[in-house]
Structure 1
Amino acid sequence: MKDADLKVANEWQRELDRHGFMQQCTKLLQMMEDKVSESAKLMEEKEKKVERSEQEREKLRNRLSEVELGLLRVEDEKRELQHRIKELDHSLKQSNELNGQLENKHYHEERRLKNKLRQLDEVN
């Protein structure tokens, strides 16, 4: 800066100082810097909250996937059990039919043997 310019600047500063403008400007500047700093802190806190929310969301997504897989396993097991029940019902039905046939055969065999015994008794 030229000496003349420096002299003008110093005069302006003295004039501003005399009216207290420099002090007011300094206070305003400090207040603005404080607000900027406060805003930066708030933004940082919000960014951290967003990051935590995203992490929590990811954990929930993972847990949901685990639950869905578990549900699929349970559904598969249910289908297997239902199939096994059908097989057992079919086996029971066959067993009952065979049992009925055996009872019928036994009944007729018993009648035949009793008739034979009666015939033998009549002969004696």
Structure 2
Amino acid sequence: MGKRYPAAALALSLAALLTACTGGASREEQMEYLRKMAQRGADMHAVQASPGDLEECYSAYEHLYGGLHGHDAPHVGNYEEKVALLKRGEGLFLESCANGTPSPVSAQSEPASPSAPPASRATT
């Protein structure tokens, strides 16, 4: 009887892990990530030796986030979507770092997810 609990806990942990890995981040989670990257860029502007220097912004980005591999970006459906999301986050960081204010994040800022329904557009 004592061996059932560890086995059940392990099975539940694996099930939770598989569920987390198969689902991608929602559009709102992706947008929140992009807003955070824009804010972080603006915050970096305030502490730079030469505010607005794009090369210094890029160096800070590389140091803090390690390019495309050192991120806290939400999980998305596939590699291409992840790269697109990370590149957009990098762009927002750099724009915001150079300008000193968070760049606006719009629906166009977010990579489209093939598993998500297309955004509705009003036609007039």
TM-score, reference length from structure 1: 0.23
Greater percentage in helix: 1
Look at both structures and tell me which one has the larger radius of gyration over its CA atoms: 1
